């Protein structure tokens, strides 16, 4: 290992500090001497002579050099260093890649314990984009785990470490029948060594990763590696919702599908998983349920008027007023108690509504000024907010005029979530269907029109919900007042 100053040169890089170490070598923060750019350098120890390990490392360099994607770590290239540079370092293999400062998902887990569903969904979308890109090129990663997902300073997630990747066309470095990977995240077929690794092998590991991000613990964790592997092979995967009750049902079901034992029972592609993530309703994550509250209402008892023996004066007969019957008093107590329960819930609703507005504003900003992929994602998310949004409808209408055809198509699809506007939308989408130059946009408009014509109109959104809260509280307060007055 390059521990001395003289040995901290892998020309043309100066090694500054070691930031990671694993079975396939070590990673150093380094300076590119030609322009002082800070990069990360992954290198094999100089004493590695195993031809299979060397060939696998070189193949990783070749794979990463050709994997140009926003959610895959960018690699600049690699070489074999000999007697060059100030330190005349020994001959060793290495490659340079972009230096990311945000840590890893493993670091987030160790710091926060677990992540919120909305955060996990956003990370999962980025993971699926990277996997879809790799799988389309015949590359199976085979070692997905939180530590292999790096975070850029802006929060972008990037997949790293293709050292165990298998190329589906076949190669001798990952021969069938060999068990390779990190045991806590390995699919059953990866453990058995048959059938060969496939895209669903990575999707199983993705399910395990998402389970751990949502709950803070992996789904299977035996006392020994062998016990953990047996769990992956034979024990049904636990549900996220059994550990984290507030997990959205759709996300819980998706993670369960990803961790199915049989390959054919899992989603077919990373793209399909990404589409399911886009369809998840983010309102479940933004709106936390109001905790159940209990209140003991003491019973109301009639008190007898006691007249002492010393009271000899007989008063005139009082005006008779009918005493409240028990059911009236119970009604009044129940109405007031229910008001006490609903008032905190109404306050919580207002808080959650404000959070929803802030999230909506961020997505609208992304729809208006993000890159094309971000704008398409923003259109889909604003559509998921549907009638509960306050400004998303107008933003999607404006997106129909975008210069990017994918944004226009996404906006047309997202407008299906606004059946209360079906009259106006029918006219607008009819114009798009007739005038837009792109077939994809015309088809999206036609599909949305057809769906809106078939869907029943919902009963209001957030505005009607607010009036419902106000009406309910008013009626209950009035009932309590009248009952006690009576």
Would you say 393 and 432 are in contact if contact means Cβ atoms under 8 Å apart? no
Could you write out the DSSP letters of every residue in 106-118? HHHHHHHSS--HH
236 contacts 188 by C-beta, under 8 angstroms:
no
If 0-12 CB within 10 Å is exposed, 13-18 middle and 19+ buried, where does residue 467 land?
exposed
Q: Is 357 a catalytic residue?
A: no
Q: What count of other Cβ atoms lies within 10 Å of the Cβ of residue 306?
A: 6
Q: Give SS3 for 32.
A: strand
For helices 372-385 and 326-369, the axis angle rounded to 10 degrees is 160
To the question of whether residue 434 is assigned a binding role by annotation, the answer is no
* Rounded CA separation 356/385 (Å): 9
Cβ contacts of 153-158, under 8 Å, gap ≥ 24: 153/100, 153/101, 153/102, 155/102, 156/70, 156/71, 156/126, 157/71, 157/105, 157/123, 157/126, 157/127, 157/130, 158/70, 158/71, 158/72, 158/73, 158/100, 158/130
Catalytic residue among 83, 107, 143, 310: 143
Beta strands in 101-181 (DSSP E): 139-140, 149-151, 157-159, 166-167
Separation of alpha carbons 64 and 141, rounded Å = 11
Please give the torsion angle defined by the CA atoms of residues 326, 330, 336 and 340, in that order, rounded to the nearest 10 degrees.
150
Catalytic residues: 143
């Amino acid at each position: 290992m390059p521990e001395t100053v003289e040995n901290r040169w892998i020309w043309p890089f100066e090694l500054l500090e070691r930031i990671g170490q694993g079975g396939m070598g070590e990673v150093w923060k380094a300076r590119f001497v030609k322009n002082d750019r800070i990069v990360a350098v992954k290198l094999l120890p100089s004493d590695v002579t195993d031809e299979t390990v060397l060939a696998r490392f070189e193949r990783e360099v070749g794979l990463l050099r050709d994997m140009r994607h926003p959610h895959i770590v960018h690699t600049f290239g690699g070489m074999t260093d000999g007697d060059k540079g100030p330190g005349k370092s020994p001959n060793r293999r290495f490659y340079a890649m972009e230096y990311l400062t945000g840590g890893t998902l493993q670091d987030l887990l160790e710091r926060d314990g677990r992540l919120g569903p909305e955060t996990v969904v956003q990370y999962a979308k980025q993971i699926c984009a990277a996997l879809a890109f790799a799988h389309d090129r015949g590359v199976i990663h085979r070692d997905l785990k939180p530590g292999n997902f790096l975070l850029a300073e802006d929060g972008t997630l990037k997949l790293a470490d293709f050292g165990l990747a298998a190329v589906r066309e076949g190669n001798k470095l990952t021969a069938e029948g060999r068990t390779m990977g990190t045991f806590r995240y390995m699919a059953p077929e990866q453990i058995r060594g048959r059938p060969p690794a496939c895209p669903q092998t990575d999707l199983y590991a993705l399910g395990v990763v998402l389970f751990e991000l949502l709950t803070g613990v992996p789904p299977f964790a035996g006392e020994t590696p062998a016990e953990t592997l047996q769990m992956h092979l034979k024990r049904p995967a636990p549900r996220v919702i059994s550990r984290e009750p507030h997990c959205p049902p759709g996300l819980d079901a998706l993670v369960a599908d990803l961790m199915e034992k049989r390959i054919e029972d899992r989603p077919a592609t990373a793209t399909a998983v990404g589409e399911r993530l886009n369809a998840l309703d983010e309102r479940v994550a933004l709106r936390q349920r109001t905790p159940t509250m209990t209140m003991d209402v003491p019973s109301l008892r009639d008190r007898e008027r006691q007249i002492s023996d010393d009271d000899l004066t007989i008063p005139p007969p009082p005006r008779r007023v009918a005493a409240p019957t028990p059911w009236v008093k119970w009604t009044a107590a129940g109405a007031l108690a229910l008001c006490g329960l609903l008032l905190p819930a109404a306050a919580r609703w207002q808080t959650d509504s404000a959070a929803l507005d802030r999230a909506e504003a961020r997505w609208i900003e992304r729809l208006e000024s993000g890159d094309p992929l971000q704008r398409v994602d923003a259109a889909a998310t604003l559509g998921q907010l549907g009638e509960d949004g306050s400004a998303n409808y107008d933003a999607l209408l404006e997106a129909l005029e975008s210069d990017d055809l994918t944004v226009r198509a996404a906006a047309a699809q997202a407008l299906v979530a606004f059946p209360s506007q079906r009259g106006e939308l029918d006219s607008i989408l009819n114009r798009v269907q007739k005038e837009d130059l792109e077939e994809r946009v015309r088809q999206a408009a036609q599909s949305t029109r057809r769906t809106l014509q078939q869907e029943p109109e919902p009963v209001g959104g957030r505005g009607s919900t607010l009036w419902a809260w106000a009406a309910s509280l008013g009626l209950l307060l009035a009932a309590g007042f009248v009952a006690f007055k009576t």
